[in-house]
Amino acid sequence: MPQPTPRKPPLYTVTADALVAVDFAPRTGNRPPGPYRALFTVPGTRAFTAGNLLARLPMGMFGVSAVVMIAGTRGSYALAGAVTATGLAATALVAPWTARLVDRYGQARVAVPATLLAALGSLALLLCVRHGAPDWTLFVSCAATATTPNLGGMSRARWARLLKDSPTSLHTANSFEQAVDELCFMLGPVLAAFLCGTFFPEAGTLAGVVLLVTGMLLFAAQRSTEPPPTARTRARTASLLRAPGMPPLLAVCLAMGVVFGAMEVVTIAFADARGHRAAAGAVLALQAAGSCAAGLLYGAVKPAGPARDRYVWCVAAMTALMVLPLLAASLTGSLWVLAGALLAAGMATAPTMITGMALVQQRTPDGRLNEGMTLAVTGLLGGIAAGSALGGWLAEHTAPATGYGVPVTAAAVALMIALRSVEPSSCGSGPSNRFRQSCPGH
């Protein structure tokens, strides 16, 4: 009796989490695709990711470029920190309005002109520094960059639309986006320091402008994955600052921004004090490298438990690890020991940001996702502005190592806020529960 022909394994399976199982790309054997590879089987995702990556790389360049450019020509880290803080503070004020316009009129229609305006501000800052313009012109020029759109938020909004029926895939996509952020802040400072040190002090800013405009044009051209504009209604014009559960998240973002802003300026000053200014970008890149690696690993595993519970543990880990740079700088004074401490400290950053952004997505009303995520980024920018100014002042008026006390203090404040705002585990965390009045603070 002839034996039945063995059935070939299907090219895809339909499951409750279909986008994780589907693989439209060529296969080798029967090995299923990994979680990150599966993301890019969705049509259009590779193109918009390439453009967004190109446009986001300058986000890690502009801060270091401005500090090196201004401190190198004016001889003041306090001035450099204050100027960059002004730009970030202005962005924190303008970004929510830009994001609201993006949600209402569409990404391509709003983001391209907003990017061009920001690019003009960066070029104005470059010219003012190069030609010795008065200090006040630096503040005005840097403030003019405030229209820069939230590139990461627009990319996450596209993923949220494409993967709305696949929570596990959306977790992976959010982890990938956070890893991209860290990659940009890993490569950006190195590239900026190299350009400013090898060519001329303004080279980093100039290259950043070219990359930003080119990447945005490529990203905006991918219209098939762009979320549709949303109509203006009363519910969609109400302030998200009053949305249930949002204020504590934004407060934690503000404190975390202080951590990032102070860390960058203080590390540059610490390296400069030891005659290694050119190595500052590489040292900062190690912190981003640790965060990038941790973020990719975090996204490759299925999250355990509600995001609100994981968030507290992530913030606690970040607080504990931020002590390492302070100890390394104060006790050893070695730049290379500090580099290792920053690498370890960065490993809690990405998981904290990924989980925080997941909570923001859960608590933001439909049709306003870009605005909600931009508010979180606005909190970060406000904190970075304060941290940059405070870190620059401490680095100039005290020993540079003293400035590392700012990130430790800010992380501890973030932990206290997270602990006070944690919700009972009985409250649902899924999208259907995002506005339940029965859950305190939710």
Kindly report, residue by residue over 381-391, the tens digit of the pLDDT: 778 878 888 88
Q: pLDDT (tens digit, 9 = 90+) per residue, 254-294?
A: 999 899 888 888 888 888 888 776 677 778 778 878 888 88
Task: State the average pLDDT over residues 77-92.
Answer: 83
Least confident span in 116-120, 218-222, 288-292, 350-354: 288-292
Domain covering 45-228+238-433 in this structure, CATH number: 1.20.1250.20
Task: State the average pLDDT over residues 120-133.
Answer: 92
pLDDT for 237: 52
> CA dist 92 to 98, 99, 349, Å?
10, 11, 21
* pLDDT bracket for residue 327 (50, 70, 90): very high
User: How many percent of the chain have pLDDT more than 70?
Assistant: 84
Question: Is a pLDDT exceeding 60 seen at residue 424?
Answer: no
Q: pLDDT (tens digit, 9 = 90+) per residue, 333-343?
A: 888 899 899 99
Please tell me which residue, 146 or 435, carries the higher pLDDT value: 146
Which residues make Cβ contacts (< 8 Å) with residue 13, sequence separation at least 6? 21, 22
Q: Which amino acid, one-letter code, is at 179?
A: A
pLDDT for 30: 57
Task: State the average pLDDT over residues 405-420.
Answer: 91
Q: Which amino acid, one-letter code, is at 103?
A: D
Question: Is a pLDDT exceeding 70 seen at residue 328?
Answer: yes
Average confidence score pLDDT of the chain: 80
Which residues make Cβ contacts (< 8 Å) with residue 270, sequence separation at least 6? 329, 335, 338, 395, 400, 401, 403
Q: Are 355 and 314 in contact (CB under 8 A)?
A: yes
> CA dist 307 to 109, 171, 362, 367, Å?
34, 10, 10, 22
Q: Please state the pTM of the whole predicted model.
A: 0.70
Q: Are 169 and 35 in contact (CB under 8 A)?
A: yes
pLDDT for 31: 62
Which residue, chain included where needed, has tokens 């950053």?
A: 349
pLDDT for 439: 35
Q: Are 255 and 383 in contact (CB under 8 A)?
A: yes
